[in-house]
Chain A
Amino acid sequence: MAATRPFAPLRNLNAKIAAVPMIATVLVVFIGCTLWTVVYSFTSSRSLPTLDFVGIDQYRRLFTTSRWIVSLRNLAIFGILALSFSLVLGFILAALMDQKIRFENTFRTVFLYPHALSFIVTGLVWQWILTPAYGVQKVVRDLGFETFNFPILTDGRFTIYAIVIASLWQGTGLVMALMLAGLRNIDDEIWKAARVDGIPTWRTYLFIIIPMMRPVFATTLVIIAATIVKVYDLVVAMTNGGPGIASEVPAKYVYDFMFSRGNLGQGLAASTIMLTTVLIILVPWALYEYRPRNRTLGVGK
């Protein structure tokens, strides 16, 4: 309910004062800092920012650096796998949870608790479980499969998949919770009608319920994708980018070049690419969500 009367500049002054932190955050941090980064990514800044513009040199160097290419490739593998598995598994879990089961709260608690843990804790636990000398590999060998190899953390070709496993453990519960909420919002009449028509449950899900839940899927996808682009702590805790540079990711490239290597230009260019990636995900979704009808933002309705 908006107060729709016209305002003199000083009317409603308290509300404007209350909004000062928000306005400052938007103008200084979200807009100001972002523009600063984009502008300085075109300079030759090393350990200190300078306004010596060098065009797209930083980007050219970025895309000829093997560590960056590996980072991007890892992000793509991680992103595609984490996104598709968490959506599919999260939806399946939610659909199972929606079958009037007993102990629903217990299952929900179990599926969601990893989401309360930090990426650091998640990464360290999975690092321990997957350590070849003590973890899964040793356990299977002890069972009698002497030649069993599971060098997922030590063989660079597979390390990124280990990070996918850990992130699915941490994040699928969230997808489940969102999907379950979406399922509970589906009108009962739909189910009744489908049953009257004799449509099997799985077909109802596939051809009626899932298409109806498109907004839920779209929103979940954007949320998950935005977190995937930022993945940092998990990698630091689990592999620290190793072995070698095998599990490097863009966010870590940014941090290392900005804060450890004193190569600001590279860090800023890399973070600008991250921003671009997020925009590529975000803009189509925003256009879809804010089609002319312009509904109110968010939850709680």
Chain B
Amino acid sequence: MESRRRRRVSSPLPAEVAAAAAAMSLVLGDDDLLAEILLRLAFPTTLVRAALACKRWLRVASSPGFLRRFRAGFLRRFLRLAFPAALDVAFLPSPKPAAFKLGLGVRYCSSKLLPENSSVGRQCWELLQIQRHGQRQTTVQINKFKRGAWRLHSSVPTELHEKTLTVDLSGGKFYITSSKNIFVLDSLSSTCSVINFPENFHGGWLSKASDSGVYLISVTESLHLRIWLHRTVSSSFNNWLLVDTICLRAVFADLGFGMPVAPIGLCCVGENAEFVLLKMGGSVFYFNIHCRTLEKLFDKAPGDTVRPFFPLPMIWPPSFPRVEGHDDLEE
């Protein structure tokens, strides 16, 4: 029954080319099927590339319904993929840390941010934390990717004694937590300032708030998840607001995971305080703060170390060129 298709073809016959083209336009001409394919592109940058291939693709890829589905899938895949080696994951045009020469004996930690839709414009950022061997001082360097090249944007020496805990970009500001306070670098004015932690509170994870500002999230010894919100208003004095306290014992018990038996730590927080990843014993849990749902992501294998990671690559949504009204052209 397959004899018809078994023709040996070095150069395809016109009829077969036509048939292949017809099959392709049937599939790619169907918005639903096209969406199924684009959904599986996995990363926002890949999606933007595909969207630039033709007008119909751009229309499908930038529609809000599609983006919601894409984001849900991306988040899920990202969490499974990136864990626990996420520090090396960068979904950026250039996989290398910025092209600046780093000498021997220099430790660095690079965090990258995808382009985003904002007043800052369409750029990628890299935050490079550099520490020279034997020195206490760390240099935080901000590099900007624009028009196809990385450039040094600003560089500030700081006294961060430890590895950066979390970094986030909100309204052109980078937030870096150290053991003593939160260090804020303003990428627009190249100035820096400091925010103190809310009352007798230290450490914690930062998460970008959707309308300027940051959340600070931490798990207390009594296993409560505390969520603070800091609005970026004119001055730098402390205006933390405790927005939520969640008893994790109750969450674990109510959702059928039993009473937590080991200390619970954070290993990732989502943008807009939407979710956290909780580490307990050898397991990692995904807790959605908005929906109050808990799901076990995986048990770590013996010998694995669970490293904290930065939720940076989730800058959302990807920016697309504008779609005009008369958009129903075939590719």
The answer to whether A and B come from one shared complex is no
- Chain A: residues with CB nearer than 8 A to chain B? none
